[in-house]
């Protein structure tokens, strides 16, 4: 009978495997002269790896995927001892892999230069083998029989809680996969904590493998602890950020019943603060005599000051660059202040055609309540489009409130002084508005979502202080994301947008407030604003309504490269309701380079039903998906 070294890897290290074997063993040892010591290699230890798993190519592939030796084969270890460490780590990894497949009697042997890595002579054998070239390493796996669940017991169930092993995925006679044991423990703990027991745990387990019958008996010992209410907040790790702000942002009052979702909401709220790189919210270790448990918040701060710059390009708008400076904790209470400048349409023949924008924004959290943010902004703009030329100064102040975990409402007051030149000459406006925005977002990622929905509804009544006219602007946008496969390598993404202006004739609405379609972010492939109403002289004048729709298939070819075929359709309309006539259609394909901060996007699009002056194709470069 041969025995291989098979240590358990965390978190399976705690599994207790008891063997009941009746056998007689005999062995003999032959003394040999010890070989002379070999010199340690001065360079990297190059090696080759062979995976040997007889008659099970699926398991062989899984072993190769989790093997540290295979993963780091292109990076030779610095010494023989480091190669042995890799071999021992692989022994633990492969053993844990066998347990996830219910194979508790398997044998894993990793040999370096023909010597088992666990033996004292392994390093010397490696050093000697280097003289002949790369060191041969073999990973041999005998998976053994698959075990099934036998007797399943859950003990220590307190406070009337009763857990059915079958409901937890541990059914007698079913494959005894180690993951199911760990998942069952997590389900028990989660269920108890959802019932108000913050210290619920499975402190120990007993797992007995009967190798004669290939059955696995499991006993889980459960401790629920006592129910508790939430107590005070202790803040750790803050340096510049005031701890009182962290406490004010708590979405609960001391004395409220404990529930994990409350702490999750608290964590998510804290992570919205630009000054925080990380936030962990947990309960303390003990329940106080008054029945409360403290809440511990551990935070990690970013550097308070930040600078950045960016560049963008499209065949419609040319080259644009921007730069910004910001302070993430201006007065010590998480205030975010930013100054940003942008210049677009660079390398145009006329300097008057260059777009410029300077903006200052300010956000103060927890004002007036913990659910709110105070927002303020001032913007100076010079904008040049095919439809108009505009200079404007704008100021806005408002409140953003979190109604639920995914739903936000923002309301404010804005003032705009603007001068516009278009085909009708030069007009000056003083506009006072009260924009209201509702946003719902339950997607799984801001820049590259694979599931969920986004909805945006906006209403903005505008008073023209010059003539007292009232303009009512309404718009909305919805997008949805659905992963076709479990690995989320293929994602369908769709977007629909619409808008209308009521209460005013087209000529009474400042042209900068009308709806336009065409270009990046709208109907790709068409010139910017070209899918919009025109006057008798074919000048773009914008409309009182809008409809747009987009569909993309986001396919990840590799871990860093993606391809996105897409189609866009849309148009702005002269009347307050879309008539869906002469919709413009653009189609194309995009390339995505996936980075840690989001995908770098390059889209190439063509108009399928172009009009006069529309390009034969367009290119768009930016960061993040198109929507």
Band (pLDDT 50/70/90 cuts) for residue 35 is very low
The domain ranges of the chain are: 12-20+41-142, 148-223, 229-301, 385-623
CA dihedral sign of residues 308, 314, 319, 320: negative
CA dihedral 611, 617, 619, 620 (to 10 degrees): 30
CA distance 588 to 608: 10
Contact 71, 47 (CB under 8 A): no
Does the structure show a pLDDT above 90 at 515? yes
Of all residues in the chain, what percent carry a pLDDT higher than 90?
81
CA distance 622 to 316: 13
Beta-bridge partners for 380: 358, 393
CA distance 337 to 4: 62
The predicted model gives 64-76 an average pLDDT of 95
Comparing 39 with 453, which gets the higher pLDDT? 453
CA dihedral 92, 98, 99, 101 (to 10 degrees): 150
pLDDT tens digits, residue range 95-143?
A: 999 999 999 999 999 999 999 999 999 999 999 999 899 999 999 999 9
**What pLDDT score was predicted for residue 2?**
32
Q: Which residue has the tokens 């390493």?
A: 137
CA distance 8 to 499: 61
Exposed e or buried b per residue across 561-583, where buried means at least 16 C-beta atoms within 10 angstroms of its C-beta: ebebebbbbbbbbbebebeeeeb
pLDDT tens digits, residue range 340-381?
A: 999 987 776 567 678 999 999 999 999 999 999 999 999 999
CA distance 213 to 19: 12
**What pLDDT score was predicted for residue 15?**
31
pLDDT tens digits, residue range 293-310?
A: 999 999 999 999 999 998
**What pLDDT score was predicted for residue 349?**
58
Q: Which residue has the tokens 């998510």?
A: 268
CATH code of the domain occupying 229-301 = 3.10.20.310
User: What is the pTM for the complete model shown?
Assistant: 0.77
Does the structure show a pLDDT above 50 at 313? yes
> Do 385-623 and 229-301 fall under one CATH topology?
no
Does the structure show a pLDDT above 60 at 384? yes
Does the structure show a pLDDT above 60 at 39? no
Q: Identify the CA nearest to 416 among candidates 464, 374, 458.
A: 464
Token pair in block for residue 292: 């409360």
CA dihedral sign of residues 243, 403, 454, 312: negative
pLDDT tens digits, residue range 397-448?
A: 999 999 998 999 999 999 999 999 998 899 999 999 999 999 999 999 888 9
**What pLDDT score was predicted for residue 441?**
97
Instruction: Give the chain's mean pLDDT.
Output: 90
Edge-to-edge order in the sheet of strand 276-283: 229-236, 292-301, 276-283
Does the structure show a pLDDT above 90 at 593? yes
Does the structure show a pLDDT above 80 at 510? yes
Does the structure show a pLDDT above 80 at 47? yes
Does the structure show a pLDDT above 60 at 262? yes
Contact 297, 233 (CB under 8 A): yes
Band (pLDDT 50/70/90 cuts) for residue 17 is very low
**What pLDDT score was predicted for residue 621?**
87
Contact 310, 320 (CB under 8 A): no
The span from the first CA to the last CA of the chain, in angstroms, equals: 63
The predicted model gives 508-525 an average pLDDT of 95
Count the neighbouring beta carbons within 10 Å of the beta carbon of residue 127: 21
Of all residues in the chain, what percent carry a pLDDT higher than 70?
91
Lowest-confidence pick of 43-47, 60-64, 126-130, 238-242: 43-47
Q: Which residue has the tokens 């569909």?
A: 551
**What pLDDT score was predicted for residue 159?**
53
Helix (H) / strand (E) element for 475: namely strand 470-483
CA distance 356 to 384: 9
Question: Phi and psi dihedrals of 64, rounded to 5?
Answer: -65, -40
**What pLDDT score was predicted for residue 31?**
30
pLDDT tens digits, residue range 459-485?
A: 999 999 988 889 999 999 999 999 999
Give the HSE-up count for residue 382: Cα atoms under 13 Å, Cβ half-sphere.
11
Does the structure show a pLDDT above 90 at 160? no
Backbone dihedral region for residue 187 (phi beyond 0: left; psi -120 to 50: alpha; all else: beta)? alpha
Domain 148-223 falls under CATH 3.10.20.310: yes
**What pLDDT score was predicted for residue 310?**
85
Count the neighbouring beta carbons within 10 Å of the beta carbon of residue 100: 14
Does the structure show a pLDDT above 70 at 604? yes
Does the structure show a pLDDT above 60 at 4? no
Domain 385-623 falls under CATH 3.40.50.720: no
């Amino acid at each position: 009978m041969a025995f291989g070294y098979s240590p358990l890897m965390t978190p399976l290290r705690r599994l207790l495997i008891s063997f009941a074997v009746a056998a007689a063993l005999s062995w003999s040892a032959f003394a040999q002269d010890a070989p002379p010591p070999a010199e340690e290699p001065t360079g990297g230890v190059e090696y080759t790896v062979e995976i040997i798993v007889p008659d099970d190519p699926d398991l062989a592939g899984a072993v190769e995927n989790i093997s540290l030796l295979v993963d780091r084969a292109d990076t030779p270890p610095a010494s023989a001892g480091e190669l042995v460490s890799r071999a021992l780590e692989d022994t633990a990894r492969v053993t844990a892999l066998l347990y996830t497949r219910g194979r508790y009697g398997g044998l894993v042997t990793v040999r370096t230069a023909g010597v088992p890595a666990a033996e004292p002579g392994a390093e010397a054998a490696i050093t000697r083998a280097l003289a002949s070239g790369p060191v041969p390493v073999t990973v041999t796996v005998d998976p053994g029989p698959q075990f099934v669940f036998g007797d399943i017991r859950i003990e220590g169930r307190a406070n009337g809680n009763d857990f059915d092993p079958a409901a937890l995925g541990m059914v007698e006679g079913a494959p005894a996969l180690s993951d199911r044991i760990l998942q069952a423990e997590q389900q028990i703990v989660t269920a108890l904590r959802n019932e108000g027991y913050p210290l619920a745990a499975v402190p120990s387990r007993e797992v007995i493998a009967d190798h004669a019958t290939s059955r696995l008996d499991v006993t889980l010992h459960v401790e629920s602890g006592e129910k508790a209410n939430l107590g005070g907040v202790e803040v750790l790790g803050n340096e510049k950020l005031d701890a009182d702000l962290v406490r004010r942002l708590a979405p609960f009052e001391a004395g409220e019943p404990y529930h994990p979702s409350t702490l999750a909401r608290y964590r998510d709220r804290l992570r919205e603060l630009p000054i925080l790189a990380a936030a962990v919210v947990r309960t303390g270790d003990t329940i106080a005599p008054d029945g409360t448990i403290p809440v511990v918040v551990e935070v990690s701060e970013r550097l308070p000051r930040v600078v950045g710059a960016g560049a963008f390009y499209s065949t419609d708008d040319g080259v644009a660059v921007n730069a910004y400076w910001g302070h993430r904790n201006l007065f010590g209470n998480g205030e975010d202040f930013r100054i940003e400048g942008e210049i677009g349409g660079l390398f145009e023949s006329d300097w008057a055609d260059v777009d410029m924008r300077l903006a200052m924004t300010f956000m103060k959290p927890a004002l007036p309540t913990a659910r709110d943010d105070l927002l303020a902004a001032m913007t100076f703009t010079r904008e040049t489009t095919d439809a108009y030329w505009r200079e404007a100064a704008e100021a806005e102040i408002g409140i953003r409130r979190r109604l639920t975990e995914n739903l936000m409402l923002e309301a404010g007051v804005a003032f705009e002084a603007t001068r516009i030149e278009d085909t009708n000459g030069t007009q000056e406006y003083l506009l006072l508005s009260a924009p209201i925005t509702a946003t719902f977002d339950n997607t799984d990622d801001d820049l590259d979502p694979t599931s969920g929905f986004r909805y945006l509804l906006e209403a903005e009544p505008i008073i023209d202080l010059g003539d007292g006219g009232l303009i009512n602007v309404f718009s909305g946008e919805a997008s949805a994301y659905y992963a076709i496969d479990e690995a989320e390598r293929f994602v369908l993404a769709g977007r629909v947008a619409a808008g209308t202006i009521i209460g005013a004739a087209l000529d009474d609405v400042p042209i900068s407030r009308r709806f336009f379609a065409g270009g990046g972010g709208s109907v790709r492939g068409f010139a910017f604003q070209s899918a919009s109403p025109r006057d008798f002289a074919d000048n773009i004048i914008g409309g009182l309504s809008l409809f747009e729709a987009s569909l993309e298939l986001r396919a990840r070819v590799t871990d860093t490269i993606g391809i996105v075929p897409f189609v866009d359709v849309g148009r702005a309309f002269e009347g307050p309701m879309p008539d869906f006539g002469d919709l413009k259609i653009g189609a194309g394909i995009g390339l995505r380079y996936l980075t840690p901060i989001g995908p770098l996007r390059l889209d190439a699009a063509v108009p399928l039903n172009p009009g006069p002056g529309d390009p034969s194709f367009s290119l768009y470069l930016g960061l993040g998906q198109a929507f």
